[in-house]
Structure 1
Amino acid sequence: MYRVPTVIRVAAVAFVLSGLVYGQESPDTNRKVAGGGIQATGWQGKIDPDAEKAGQTVSDAKLVMEGKDLKVTTGPAITYWNPKNVAKGDYTVSATFTEPKFMNLNTHPHPYGIVIAGNDLGTGQQSYLYCAAYGSGNFIVRGFGPDAFQMNGRREASDAVHKAAGPGQPVTQDIAMQVKGDKVSCIINGTVVKTFDKSELVTAGKLKSTDGVYGLRFAHNTDAVVTNLKMTTP
């Protein structure tokens, strides 16, 4: 009888375990962050509908201003914005996200990133688009209009997205969303990872416009520091 060499069996087990850690996302319960709430002047937030239905609030996540940096700890998945931060026409919104300890608050990678095109934020009719990166080398482009809609494969891989060396290790991503002409692009660490026609986005059930408020998006049970959030124009 043919026997599979030990080295192949070990490699197969390693591959399966890797898939369990990074490929699957078995449900985990939303945490409640101690001392939570929005502690950054002028900022607002809204958690996702499923968390609202479960009785959670923005106080179960935490946004703190530390100097010029924003420190986020979740809790339920949440979108944060400052109504003064508005982008119109052609623009790029960017920031650097540092996850000090990859998977610190969760059993699998969770994403964080840039929000643009926010309209009616905080209401039942809100619409916006976001591009977010995972510390496992993947990214997601998704939005609400007001129901959730997906623009790429969930956890799509890209060599541009930085990978943490392992759980508990730091990982940093430079994330940007750009509106230019009739195109909208997600840019991670200087590389365009996805581009869409505006007509795919500004349509019934998706965005009202690519003009709007910009901000931050964090999945549940995640913590990271956001630096140099800015909007630039051509």
Structure 2
Amino acid sequence: GPAAIYWNPANVARGNYTVQATFAQSKASAHPEAYGLLIAGNNLEATNQSYLYFVVRQDGKYLINHRANDSTVHKIVDWTAHSAVKAMDAAGKAANALAVVVGPDALSFRVNGTEVKAIPRSVIDAGGLNSGTAGIAGIRVNHNLDVHIDGFAVTPAK
């Protein structure tokens, strides 16, 4: 199907929190397509939608970007290989558990329990992205993927 973001307006996160889900790609796509989490979502039904997204793809790479509106995307971390990201196997399958942990000082981006990147919260909150970390959390899935999602949760820090 087409690329899309999925969210429930009740899944608003503020302060310190964790967003997580497990993604199971059940067959290979024609070329690497991404799937993962979105946080700090605002105006998600409008052309000025804004959100931060953390995605992986079948070749074992991850990406972190901020979508500012329909025409502006801020690259935060370009496609980067990491051993924590499971690439698809010979059958075209891969499963990856993703989490974004928003702490008092940094955002920790994790794949299968391993931190692949930490970004100071000040970079997101005041780094010219006009994003911040408060907003709706959800899922982003590119087109032409067969991905099953389990365990999506938004959990406030204790």
Compute the TM-score of the two structures, normalised by the length of structure 2: 0.91
Work out whether 1:100 is the aligned partner of 2:26. yes
2:58 alignment counterpart: 135
Closer, same or farther: CA 195–208 of 1 in aligned 2, 3 Å: same
Work out whether 1:111 is the aligned partner of 2:34. yes
SS of equivalent residue, structure 2 residue 77: coil
Work out whether 1:159 is the aligned partner of 2:83. yes
- Which letter maps to 1:176? A
Write the distance in 2 (CA, Å) between the matches of 1:145 and 1:97.
25
Work out whether 1:218 is the aligned partner of 2:141. yes
Closer, same or farther: CA 194–88 of 1 in aligned 2, 3 Å: same
Structure 1 segments (4+ residues) deviating >6 Å: none
The alpha-carbon deviation at position 145 of structure 1 amounts to: 1.4
Write the distance in 2 (CA, Å) between the matches of 1:212 and 1:109.
28
Contact 2:52 2:131 in 1 (8 A): no
SS of equivalent residue, structure 1 residue 101: coil
Q: Quick one: higher RCO (CA 8 Å, sep 6+), 1 or 2? A: 2
SS of equivalent residue, structure 2 residue 88: coil
Compute the TM-score of the two structures, normalised by the length of structure 1: 0.62
Contact 2:38 2:53 in 1 (8 A): yes
The alpha-carbon deviation at position 205 of structure 1 amounts to: 5.5
Work out whether 1:183 is the aligned partner of 2:106. yes
SS of equivalent residue, structure 1 residue 152: strand
The alpha-carbon deviation at position 207 of structure 1 amounts to: 3.9
SS of equivalent residue, structure 1 residue 178: strand
Write the distance in 2 (CA, Å) between the matches of 1:145 and 1:130.
11
SS of equivalent residue, structure 2 residue 95: strand
Write the distance in 1 (CA, Å) between the matches of 2:149 and 2:124.
26
The 5-angstrom pairing of residues 2-81 of structure 1 reads 74-75=1-2, 77-81=3-7
Contact 2:40 2:137 in 1 (8 A): yes
Closer, same or farther: CA 138–208 of 1 in aligned 2, 3 Å: closer
Write the distance in 2 (CA, Å) between the matches of 1:204 and 1:134.
27
The alpha-carbon deviation at position 178 of structure 1 amounts to: 1.1
User: Structure 1 stretches of 5 or more lacking a match?
Assistant: 1-73
Contact 1:145 1:205 in 2 (8 A): no
For the aligned residues, what is the CA RMSD? 1.5
2:74 alignment counterpart: 149
Write the distance in 2 (CA, Å) between the matches of 1:171 and 1:124.
33
The alpha-carbon deviation at position 202 of structure 1 amounts to: 2.5
Which of the two has greater strand per residue?
2
Deviation string, structure 1 residues 81-135 (Cα, Å, up to 9, x no partner): 11011111111100000111122xxx21111001111112121222111111112
User: Structure 2 stretches of 5 or more lacking a match?
Assistant: none
Which of the two has greater helix per residue?
1
Specify the structure having the higher radius of gyration (Cα). 1
Work out whether 1:192 is the aligned partner of 2:115. yes
